[in-house]
Structure 1
Amino acid sequence: MQADVEQLAGDFKFTEGPAVDAEGNVYFTDIPEAKIWIWTVDNKMELFKENSGGANGLYFDKHQNLWICEGWEGQISKISPEGNYEVVASTYKGKRFNQPNDIWPDAKGGAYFTDPEYNENPDLPQGGMHVYYIQPNHSEVIRVTDDLVKPNGIIGTPDGKTLYITDHGDDKTFSYTIEENGNLSNKTLFTNVGGDGMSIDQNGSIYLTTTGKKAIDVFNKNGDLYYSIALHQQPSNVCFGGKNRDELFITARTSVYKIKLDAKGVK
């Protein structure tokens, strides 16, 4: 599938982290330029933030706070609907994070995020690449995985029971059961391919920017490949947006694309 894919904008350095707000506007990052942009429901592009700390992954929580993975700063921040900025988490056991990449806030007020590193630094601040959970009180961060090679994309189900993590370094994607205390259990292979970013629709299908492919691969909830959406560039991440959440927005290197689908994203 490619004919219906529309290029919205180009001439970026490296786009990432699309996230949709309550109105259907899609926010995305240009990492090297340290900027966060908005593609509005009126089909206009607006600059939201400069000096973003090398922002990568974004996600809105149920209160419309925008959570931000600041890769350059090694921290997680958020911006309230009123525009108030705060750093939520910057260290684990006294050391800064490597390079926070993607994030998924849960309904409890906490958030899961991946912490890989792509600068080939042999001396990682955290000694490895892991996934963390910021507790709802934001006063404690726990490490929830320690056996992944290079975790990257992350997304949870609306009921808060299952978390998907794609291991870019091992070319695999896993599902986990989310425990009441925020820990993860029941690690299960979801599909034998890895990727960069992920999204989920109302049917539970997973949209994965599969490693090494100029396409979005769509898997059903059992991990079977359903279909693929071909692109002219290798995509980095995806999210559903628009007023009806039936448009898939795709960040792909120098450009941002969208395609209208029969499926709808979760709210």
Structure 2
Amino acid sequence: MAESPLYEIRDERFGALIVGSAALEELYRGCRWAEGPVWFSDLNVLIWSDIPNERMMRWSPDGGASVFRSPSNYVNGNTRDLQGRLISCEHGGRRVTRTEYDGRITVLADSYQGKRLNSPNDVVVRSDGSIWFTDPTYGIISDYEGHKTESEQGTRNVYRIDPVSGAILAVVTDFIQPNGLAFSPNEKRLFVADSGSAQHEVPSHIRVFDVAEDGTLGNGSYFCSIDNGNPDGFRFDVAGNLWCSAGDGVHCFAPDGKLLGKILVPQTVSNLTFGGPKKNRLFITATQSLYSIYVKANGAQHP
């Protein structure tokens, strides 16, 4: 496949994952920092966050874009639990919440060992019902995406919420700024981005951990690096390829960590998710805008 202004091909395998004739569609413009896209397949709707504007947005193929929730308490990352309920990370409330079917908000986590969380950022749900989230300090380092204050935790951790007891456990505590996270399709490995290079001289990389049956993590190691900007949100396709946000677009990595290619986006990409009836439409949040593009891959996330 010949190079195009839309794609940067690093490995011939990338050609089997992209649609050469597909267009990058700008579905909405008007955010200050778009983030946290989550697809509701049963409703044919995408929800995403516009953090500095303290609102959540909704997009559907038939209805276009509209405001879903305002004020949002500076919600960042979103996902769904096994019952289809919306799980959100609030910078403003420094907590992880669940939106019930009737619209009520249930707090799932707001502290650890008696101290307030920093500002939960991104969240995923495992098939056992456990909820995993990252807790960097982006929501408390200024008033732009939350409320400026000092960290009570002192560290920036990855946490697991037990599906039965609701107990919160810090499973990794040595990140500079843990950000996006996702499980491999078979859920045997957890991948976590470290975006600390935005403020520190550290690598722009994603780490990977083995996941034991009891939910504990082990064998943490390096998986891949981003060569433009910082790794933020990412998702897997069913073949185990990792699609990650970056400064110049979306980077696609093979299961062995090799960069296959890039989808070039005119704005800095923050996050992405697979959606549409066949989960072959990549929805991309990028600074001011929501984009989409069809690919030949199918997303592995649930529900």
| TM-score between the two structures when normalised by the length of structure 2 | 0.83
Alignment of 1:66-105 (within 5 A): 66-105=86-125
Q: For residues 277 and 103 of structure 2, what CA distance do their matches in structure 1 show?
A: 22
Q: Deviations over 1:232-257 (max 9, x none)?
A: 10010000111211110000111100
Matched, 1:223 2:254: no
Q: Which one is further off, 150-159 or 36-45?
A: 36-45
Q: For residues 246 and 138 of structure 1, what CA distance do their matches in structure 2 show?
A: 36
Q: For residues 234 and 162 of structure 1, what CA distance do their matches in structure 2 show?
A: 27
Alignment of 1:153-192 (within 5 A): 153-169=180-196, 170-192=203-225
What amino acid maps onto 1:204 in structure 2?
G
Matched, 1:12 2:46: no
Q: For residues 173 and 62 of structure 2, what CA distance do their matches in structure 1 show?
A: 43
What's 1:50 paired with?
70
What's 2:242 paired with?
206
What's 1:257 paired with?
291
Q: Deviations over 1:202-251 (max 9, x none)?
A: 111111112xx221100011111011000110010000111211110000
Q: For residues 63 and 209 of structure 2, what CA distance do their matches in structure 1 show?
A: 37
Match of 1:196 among 216, 223, 232: 232
Contact 1:74 1:100 in 2 (8 A): yes
Contact 2:155 2:174 in 1 (8 A): no
Question: How much does 1:122 deviate?
Answer: 8.3
The secondary structure found in structure 1 opposite 2:232 is: strand
Q: Which has the larger radius of gyration?
A: 2
Q: For residues 137 and 75 of structure 1, what CA distance do their matches in structure 2 show?
A: 19
The secondary structure found in structure 2 opposite 1:17 is: strand
Question: How much does 1:87 deviate?
Answer: 0.7
The secondary structure found in structure 1 opposite 2:171 is: strand
Q: Deviations over 1:14-57 (max 9, x none)?
A: 11000112334211001012211121243522322222211000
Match of 1:107 among 127, 135, 151: 127
How much identity, in percent, do the aligned residues show?
31
What is the Cα-based RMSD across aligned positions, in Å?
A: 1.7
Q: Deviations over 1:130-183 (max 9, x none)?
A: 111111125310001111111101011243221110111141111111122222
Give the unaligned 5+ runs of structure 1. none
What's 2:136 paired with?
116
Q: For residues 111 and 61 of structure 1, what CA distance do their matches in structure 2 show?
A: 8
Give the unaligned 5+ runs of structure 2. 7-21, 143-147, 197-202
Q: For residues 155 and 138 of structure 1, what CA distance do their matches in structure 2 show?
A: 22
Contact 1:26 1:242 in 2 (8 A): no
Contact 2:194 2:205 in 1 (8 A): yes
Question: How much does 1:200 deviate?
Answer: 0.9
